[in-house]
Amino acid sequence: MKLLILGGTQFVGRHIVEAALAAGHEVSLFHRGQTNPDLFPEAEHLYGDREADLSPLADRRWDAVIDTSGYTPGPVRRSAEALKGRVGQYVFISTVSVYDDPPSGADESAPLQRIDPAEASTSDSYGGLKVLCEEVVQDIYPRDHLIIRPGIVAGPHDPTDRFTYWVRRIHQSGEVLAPERRDQPVQVIDARDLAAWLVRLIERGETGVFNATGPAEPLTLEEMLTAIKRGLRTEATLTWVDAEFLTRHGVSMGELPFWTLGQVWGAFQIDSSRAQAHGLTYRPLAETARDTLAWVLERPPTHKWRAGLRDDQHAELLSLWHARG
């Protein structure tokens, strides 16, 4: 197949390109040439900016386009309209953040976030903007759209550092601060599993909307951290610290990835049974942890982490926890 990928040089898109090339497909990448420009010399690179210049895509045809870089409806509409009649299928990478306060077990029919399209240019609602993007794709490709809604994605090259933070922290061994509640549900999917499955869907000409969360069985925060320990074969110990202590000392949820205050955990209990019925499978989390660590160890020591506690903050919180009366 001939596949066009909008983006494809950072994380999820990068793994999609790798999966497509491994499956023997002919791949064209449309990007600005700013992020990892030397990747994939075996693929065709078309340089442009989807915000302003789509001319490199003119007079070309592909079996499918995979939009990995659409975050606001304007650019998505421009690319979808420009490619209308010249691609067999429009594949859009969305997010489970499109759901509006999802209940436990929410499937693809759950209510979506709604924002006024007139406010799209000024809105900071990630989920709401993705909803508008989805609607653009469905409007222009009513029978030929494939929309994928991943949850938290993990693995090598992840720029968000969410799962990666726990891999790094546990790899350091010693004592690891872990936030209660340990039985909190979490979901995470390896980018490589997501990518390989997506390529198979495209090969079969599948259409519609799919949640893409993992793993197959329910997972708790404690089980995830234990799986990382198992994968890294480390002697790190987990010290479970209660939420009241953490919030009292100024720790926010964003500083401890996957931690969610309270017991409203629907966003980590999204139903992916439809995707599994269509072939989505998962590797062990321990394997994801090992491969993520191998990539982390290649990073420069000056890397600025985007998620997680600083080392000094982590040590201070543990000291305060043990010294409490």
- All structural domains of the chain, each given as residue ranges with its CATH number in brackets, are 2-150 (3.40.50.720), 162-186+217-265+284-323 (3.90.25)
Element counts in the chain: helices (H) and strands (E) = 10, 13
User: Average of pLDDT values for 137-165?
Assistant: 97
Distances (CA, A) of 274 to 60, 66, 160, 175, 208: 33, 20, 27, 39, 11
- Segment 17-56, tens digit of pLDDT: 999 999 999 999 999 988 898 999 999 999 999 988 999 9
- DSSP helix/strand/coil, 16: helix
What secondary structure does DSSP assign to 150-170, as a single string? E-SEESTT-TT-HHHHHHHHH
Distance CA 293, CA 177 (A): 19
- DSSP helix/strand/coil, 269: coil
pLDDT at res. 127: 96
% of the chain at pLDDT higher than 90: 91
Question: Which amino acid, one-letter code, is at 115?
Answer: I
pLDDT at res. 241: 97
- Segment 54-79, tens digit of pLDDT: 999 999 999 999 999 999 999 999 99
% of the chain at pLDDT higher than 70: 99
Angle CA(152)–CA(155)–CA(157) in degrees, nearest 5?
A: 105
Question: Who has greater pLDDT, 263 or 192?
Answer: 192
| Contact call for residues 36 and 10 (beta carbons, < 8 A) | yes
pLDDT at res. 265: 86
Q: Which pairs from 135-143 meet CB under 8 Å and 24+ separation?
A: 135/73, 136/73, 136/76, 136/77, 136/80, 137/67, 137/76, 137/80, 137/90, 137/92, 140/77, 140/80, 140/81, 140/84, 140/90, 141/80, 141/84, 141/89, 141/90, 143/207
pLDDT at res. 5: 98
- DSSP helix/strand/coil, 187: coil
Distance CA 50, CA 31 (A): 8
Q: Cα dihedral angle (110, 113, 118, 124), rounded to 10 degrees?
A: -150
Q: What is the DSSP letter of 57?
A: G
What band does 325 get if pLDDT is binned at 50, 70 and 90?
A: low
pLDDT at res. 262: 74
- Segment 217-249, tens digit of pLDDT: 999 999 999 999 999 999 999 999 999 999 999
Q: Which two tokens stand for residue 132?
A: 């508008």
pTM for this prediction:
0.96
